């Protein structure tokens, strides 16, 4: 096995920079780096040592910590050197380590080794990556839950039940000459349907989980002067967009990242849609249409003090994709009665005032509603990864196929094929049955040094 090395801290200058090693040559490399062939470190103790250049001159004084196998992150022998965080020094340590026989680690290779050595399963390894990448506190909470094994634990009952069903069916096949009696088939179907319900319930958390991890794109659209930029500024919490009473001032789309109840949101303010009066405005409107196509959700802003214009109606029609929320703005002023009646059959309507902030809580709730109910404190673990989601859906499909075959009283062997597939899909989530090339693909999305 190679001994791998990587800089574990982010590139650039910093107070401290950490170089990490894992593999059987760790101790010998460490001894050479500090030029002390007799050095006998106690595991998990920290030593202040001089790192020495190949010429014999001092390179840096650094803190060195050593971890004996199997009690390390990777499960192999490891050590870490905390140097001063100069890229020149860190690079020098890497070069010398390579001369001493270490190889630069691939992205995620430390965690891959941890996985292969049984220190964690695949979902936990993925949680390490997600934790490092988390954009919000709520996303970090989810990642830590997964790291602590909550996702694997949530899958466990379905797996155990499936194994029970498989064992029963297999032994029935061995000992029973005839087909399974109807009563047993009914029983099996009931148990299978319970497993399907559980797996589906977990899969259904993906809308919330994905939003929490990757965020959602929300575009504010509407006619000029209805208050789009004011609403954008309110939501962003600062005066980012230019607000004027002159129609058509926002000529380009601008975006800002915000956090709405723990969910990262990329909010885009767009140029008002109307028949453009000049070329620049025309381009702005084209960009608006692009932003509308890209968005996960549209906030269609309507001026609540004026009658619904034909432009308003055109935008509402354009946005009618099931992913829009209508915000009737300026509710601090006298309302135009005709509007509510005109929007009666539009499902999601909220009254807001970008000026006073009234109704914005309501707006946030409506924006997040399609993601399903998730209260990151109270809810269980969420599915945040499309790989997991896809495998859960394949599990459900496979189980449903088996159920169909059972209903037709067709061959038990065929029923078993579906059940075994379902079990394999669940196993792929936690990495028990994941092919090496898929593992490679997953770990390539990790940082170097993790």
Q: Name the nearest CA neighbour of 163 among 171, 151, 152.
A: 171
Which letter does DSSP use for residue 223 in this model? Answer: S
| β-bridge mates for residue 47, sequence order | 64
Note whether 34 and 48 are within 8 A (CB).
no
Show the tokens assigned to 80: 């870490």
Residues 6+ apart with CB under 8 A from 284: 250, 251, 252, 253, 270, 271, 276
**Residue whose CB is less far from ligand GDP, 273 or 297:** 273
Shortest Å, Cβ 281 to ligand GDP: 12
Out of 72, 136, 250, 398, point to the residue binding ligand GDP (CB under 6 A).
250
Show the tokens assigned to 365: 């709730």
Q: Is 229 in the site for ligand GDP (CB under 6 A)?
A: yes
Q: Within 10 Å of residue 104's Cβ, how many Cβ atoms? A: 15
Shortest Å, Cβ 363 to ligand GDP: 12
Q: Is 353 in the site for ligand GDP (CB under 6 A)?
A: yes
Out of 37, 245, 275, 345, point to the residue binding ligand GDP (CB under 6 A).
245
Q: Which stretch binds ligand GDP (CB under 6 A): 113-121, 243-251, 414-422, 437-445?
A: 243-251
Which letter does DSSP use for residue 275 in this model? Answer: S
Binding mask 276-315 for ligand GDP (x = CB under 6 A): ----------------------------------------
- Residues 197-216 close enough to bind ligand GDP by CB under 6 A: none
Q: Is 226 in the site for ligand GDP (CB under 6 A)?
A: yes
Note whether 29 and 16 are within 8 A (CB).
no
| Longest pairwise C-alpha distance within the chain | 88
297-303 β-sheet, strand order: 254-260, 263-269, 216-222, 297-303, 324-329, 349-351
Shortest Å, Cβ 300 to ligand GDP: 11
Note whether 131 and 140 are within 8 A (CB).
yes
Q: Is 402 in the site for ligand GDP (CB under 6 A)?
A: no
**Residue whose CB is less far from ligand GDP, 240 or 387:** 240
CA dihedral sign of residues 279, 301, 227, 221: negative
Total residues contacting ligand GDP (rule CB under 6 A)? 20
Q: Is 445 in the site for ligand GDP (CB under 6 A)?
A: no
Shortest Å, Cβ 238 to ligand GDP: 14
Shortest Å, Cβ 266 to ligand GDP: 18
Q: Is 329 in the site for ligand GDP (CB under 6 A)?
A: yes
- Residues 333-352 close enough to bind ligand GDP by CB under 6 A: 333
Counting Cα atoms < 13 Å in the Cβ hemisphere of 126 gives 25
**Per-residue b/e over 291-316, b at no fewer than 16 CB within 10 Å?**
bbeebbbbbbbbbbbeebeebbeebb
Binding mask 254-273 for ligand GDP (x = CB under 6 A): ------------------x-
Q: Is 330 in the site for ligand GDP (CB under 6 A)?
A: yes
Return the SS3 of 350. strand
**Residue whose CB is less far from ligand GDP, 10 or 356:** 356
Return the SS3 of 47. strand
Note whether 273 and 149 are within 8 A (CB).
no
Residues 6+ apart with CB under 8 A from 117: 70, 74, 75, 76
Q: Which stretch binds ligand GDP (CB under 6 A): 94-102, 190-198, 225-233, 379-387?
A: 225-233
Out of 164, 193, 197, 244, point to the residue binding ligand GDP (CB under 6 A).
244
Q: Is 221 in the site for ligand GDP (CB under 6 A)?
A: no
Note whether 79 and 72 are within 8 A (CB).
no
Antiparallel, parallel or unpaired: β 263-269 and 58-67: unpaired
> Which run of H or E residues covers position 351?
strand 349-351
Shortest Å, Cβ 126 to ligand GDP: 41
Q: Which stretch binds ligand GDP (CB under 6 A): 33-41, 120-128, 133-141, 224-232?
A: 224-232
Gyration radius from the chain CA atoms: 29
**Residue whose CB is less far from ligand GDP, 27 or 236:** 236
Q: Is 114 in the site for ligand GDP (CB under 6 A)?
A: no
Q: Is 228 in the site for ligand GDP (CB under 6 A)?
A: yes
Q: Is 225 in the site for ligand GDP (CB under 6 A)?
A: yes
Spatial separation of the C-alpha atoms in residues 114 and 23, rounded to whole Å: 11
Chain residue whose CB lies nearest ligand GDP: 227
Q: Which residues bind ligand GDP (CB under 6 A)?
A: 222, 224-230, 243-245, 250, 272, 329-330, 332-333, 353-355
């Amino acid at each position: 096995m190679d001994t791998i090395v990587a800089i574990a801290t982010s590139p650039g200058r910093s107070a401290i920079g950490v170089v990490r090693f894992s593999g059987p040559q760790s101790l010998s490399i460490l001894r050479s780096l500090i030029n002390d062939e007799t050095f006998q470190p106690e595991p998990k103790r920290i030593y202040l040592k001089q790192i020495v250049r190949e010429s014999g001159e001092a390179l840096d004084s650094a803190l060195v910590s050593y971890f004996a196998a199997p009690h390390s992150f990777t499960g192999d022998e490891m050590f870490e050197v905390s140097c001063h965080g100069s890229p020149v020094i860190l690079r020098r340590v890497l070069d010398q380590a390579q001369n001493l026989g270490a190889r630069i680690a691939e992205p995620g290779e430390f965690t891959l080794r941890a996985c292969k050595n049984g220190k964690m399963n695949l979902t936990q390894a993925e949680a390490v990556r997600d934790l490092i990448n988390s954009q919000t506190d709520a996303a970090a909470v989810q990642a830590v839950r997964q790291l602590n094994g909550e996702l694997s634990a949530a899958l466990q009952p379905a797996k155990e039940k499936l194994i029970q069903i498989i064992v029963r069916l297999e032994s029935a096949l061995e000992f029973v000459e005839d087909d399974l009696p109807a009563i047993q088939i009914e029983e099996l179907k009931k148990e299978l349907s319970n497993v399907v319900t559980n797996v589906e319930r977990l899969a259904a958390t993906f809308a919330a989980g994905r939003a929490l991890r990757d965020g959602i794109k929300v575009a504010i659209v509407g006619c000029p002067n209805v208050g789009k930029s004011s609403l954008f500024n309110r939501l962003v919490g600062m005066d980012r967009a230019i607000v004027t009473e002159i129609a058509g001032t926002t000529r380009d789309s601008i975006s800002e990242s915000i956090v709405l109840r723990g969910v990262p949101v990329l909010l885009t303010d767009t140029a008002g849609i109307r028949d453009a009066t000049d070329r620049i405005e025309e381009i702005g409107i084209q960009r608006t249409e692009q932003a509308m196509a890209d968005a996960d959700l549209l906030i269609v802003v309507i001026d609540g003090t004026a009658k619904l214009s034909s432009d308003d109606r055109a935008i509402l029609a354009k946005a009618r994709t099931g992913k829009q929320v209508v915000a009737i703005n300026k509710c601090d002023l006298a309302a135009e009665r005709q509007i509510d009646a005109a929007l009666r059959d539009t499902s999601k309507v909220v009254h807001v005032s970008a000026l006073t902030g009234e109704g914005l809580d309501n707006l946030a709730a409506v924006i997040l509603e399609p993601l399903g109910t998730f209260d990151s404190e109270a809810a269980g673990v969420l599915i945040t990864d499309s790989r997991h989601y896809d495998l859960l859906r394949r599990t459900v499909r496979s189980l449903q196929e088996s159920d169909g075959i059972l209903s037709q009283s067709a061959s038990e062997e065929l029923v078993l094929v579906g059940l075994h597939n379902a079990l394999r899909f669940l196993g792929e989530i936690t990495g028990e049955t994941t092919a090496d090339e898929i593992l490679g693909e997953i770990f390539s999305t990790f940082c170097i040094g993790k």
